[in-house]
Amino acid sequence: MNLKKKIISYSLFFFLFMFIFLILILFVFQPFTSLADVQKNPEIVITDEQGNELMHYMNYHRITPVDLERFDEDNLSYLLHIEDRSFMTHSGFNLQRIFKTLTSNLFHNQRHGASTITQQYIKNLYLNNSKSISRKIKELYYAIKLEQVATKEQILEGYLNCIYLGNDIYGFANASRYYFNTSYDRLTAQQMIALIALLNAPSYYSSHITAWEKRKNELAKILHDDHLLDTTVYQQVVQPLDFDHCAKLYPDALLYYCDAVLNEFKQIAVKAKFNQKIIIQTRYHSAINDQKFTTNANIASITIDQDGFILSCIGDIDYARSTFNIALNGKRDIGSTIKPLLYYEALKCGYSPSTTHYSAPFSFQYHDETISVSNYGSIYPYQKINMKNALATSDNIYAIKTHLDLGMKTLVYHLRKYNIAAQALPSLALGSIGMSLYQLIRIYSQFFTEGLYLEPKFIETVSLDDQAVFKAHPQKKQLLKSDYVKQIKELMNGMFDSKIKHATGLGIASLLKEKCYGKSGLTDYDSYMIGFSNDILIAVWSGHLDNRELKDSATKKLPKQIFLQQMNAYIKNKNDV
């Protein structure tokens, strides 16, 4: 026996001894946490109020679950033959494959993996991709344990759901739709073998089509030589792939919403054990979120109900372009939507809804500077108007005169109630203060509920094994005096009043299917519409995140159109139930 063969023999003998010793250590002393006690929240399902599934996650990756019984048997046989031929008989690991891999890696400089499907499933769901010895030992231990508590069908189905297939795609169901725009149960042999080819190096092959094709054809040759593919099918498989990409697997509105749900969930002290599915129930409202809008601008929208739960949270027009949720995180000047707050303070200071100011071009002195104020479109009644008319037409002259009359710090103090810092400037009366749409809808929740300042929540309940372990109670505070709030609420119906000339909501008033209240706002860069019925409150913004000036009328009018569509969709759905 030559020296090289002796080294190989001694090495393999040593490895066998160490492997047996490791197995004994693992199962006699059990140095790692039992799989049943691993708390990783591996499987999460987000539902709407009726329990309909909105999004499914495995290890916080979006997936679409497969039903193993619907998977083509031939396609499954291709997968098992390439990835794990002894899957149906091994106990979580393949000793023969480990020896073969070790020999190839050490003495032939060939890089092969020895992980079984069970080990890959464990790694993807409970561990990570680190190359450490500790991680590999845990993977082996948990794989053996998993085989003792789960069926082969459960393991295989879990693997098909969670395996990575490039381009941020997890699971065969989503990969089938993304690459070929088809369902996993309708994959051709060529498509299935192409997806199997990705498993070896998903990030590389999915971005190097020629190499991917080569790998696919190599696997087809193996399957053909091993008599799993007949010659006719083999010839079809080795043809160039015909991609039909489905870039959007999920609606944009749903993606923004579910991201926010997960962020809220991570703040809740709920941990699942092995094989426990977490069910997060929300009040996501499909009819509101299914509305389509065509625009080159950025948009954001939030809808809440009287209990303080969020029914819709549209973060922008295109999730693929940007995952940044403008509704929750974007701060913009709020324009004339600040005026109901100003007029609330005016009522407290002795004004009444019938208090008048003369509305015409107006100038005043401020720190030795002449400040001129105008209305949008230079539209003036040139007469005294009351508070309802001022709010309905968004009259800037009335607002500035009220602001100066009350003292500019009055509005500053009001904003402090919401932990919003502002400067006592004349322009504050016209909304020169930045806040997010989420902050703004919280403020408007007081007019919606006639007095309660809500902290809206996405999550209603969290359940484990059909047992509720968390129930949300959105925080409610009484910050304002309800009598004045109710008066402002009634004034906010004026924007839809056909008797008020130039009321800002006349363009949609006749189309609304229920009585609504609201306030619009428009700056050079931002457009708003915030309104409510007795059931829901909707806040909408449109503009450009790069601070381009709003020049086209369509973008300026867009928030009202979105409000109209969402409100009427909700009303129709309510009446149809």
- Give how far Cα 192 sits from Cα of 83, 87, 175, 319, 366, Å: 13, 19, 10, 28, 73
Residue type present at position 209? I
For residues 166-179, one letter each, b for 16 or more C-beta atoms within 10 angstroms of the residue's C-beta and e for the rest, the string is bbebbbbbbbbbbb
Distance separating alpha carbons of residues 232 and 241, to the nearest angstrom: 16
Query: Are the beta carbons of 249 and 170 closer than 8 angstroms?
Result: no
Which of 279, 376, 298, 387 is CA-nearest to residue 340?
387
Query: Are the beta carbons of 539 and 566 closer than 8 angstroms?
Result: no
What percentage of residues in the chain have a pLDDT greater than 70? 87
Per-residue confidence band for 13, with pLDDT thresholds at 50, 70 and 90: low
Structure confidence at residue 446 (pLDDT): 97
Ranges of beta strands (E only) in 132-205 are: none
Distance separating alpha carbons of residues 117 and 160, to the nearest angstrom: 10
Sheet holding 43-47, edge to edge: 61-63, 53-58, 43-47, 277-282, 459-464, 467-471
pLDDT digits (tens, 9 = 90+) for 298-342: 999 999 999 999 999 999 999 999 999 999 999 999 999 999 999
Per-residue confidence band for 436, with pLDDT thresholds at 50, 70 and 90: very high
Residue located via tokens 């006719």: 232
Structure confidence at residue 106 (pLDDT): 45
* Helical H segments across 266-319, by residue range: 286-289
- For the record, the structure tokens of 193 come out as 């073998």
Residue 355 clears pLDDT 70, i.e. is over it = yes
Ramachandran region of residue 488, left (φ > 0), alpha (ψ -120 to 50) or beta? alpha
Distance separating alpha carbons of residues 569 and 567, to the nearest angstrom: 5
- For the record, the structure tokens of 13 come out as 């003998």
Burial (Cβ within 10 Å: 0-12, 13-18, ≥19) of residue 310: buried
Compute the mean pLDDT over every residue in the chain, rounded to the nearest whole number. 89
Structure confidence at residue 270 (pLDDT): 83
pTM: 0.89
Residue 344 clears pLDDT 70, i.e. is over it = yes
- For the record, the structure tokens of 542 come out as 């449109």
Structure confidence at residue 79 (pLDDT): 97
For the residues of 239-292, what is the DSSP string, one character each?
SPP-------SS-HHHHHHHHHHHHHHTTS-----TTPEEEEEE---HHHHT--
* Helical H segments across 449-552, by residue range: 482-491, 506-509
Distance separating alpha carbons of residues 152 and 273, to the nearest angstrom: 20
pLDDT digits (tens, 9 = 90+) for 495-517: 999 999 999 999 999 999 999 99
Beta strands 467-471; 434-435: pairing state: unpaired
pLDDT digits (tens, 9 = 90+) for 96-115: 555 555 454 444 444 445 58
In eight-state DSSP terms, residue 268 is S
Distance separating alpha carbons of residues 460 and 310, to the nearest angstrom: 9
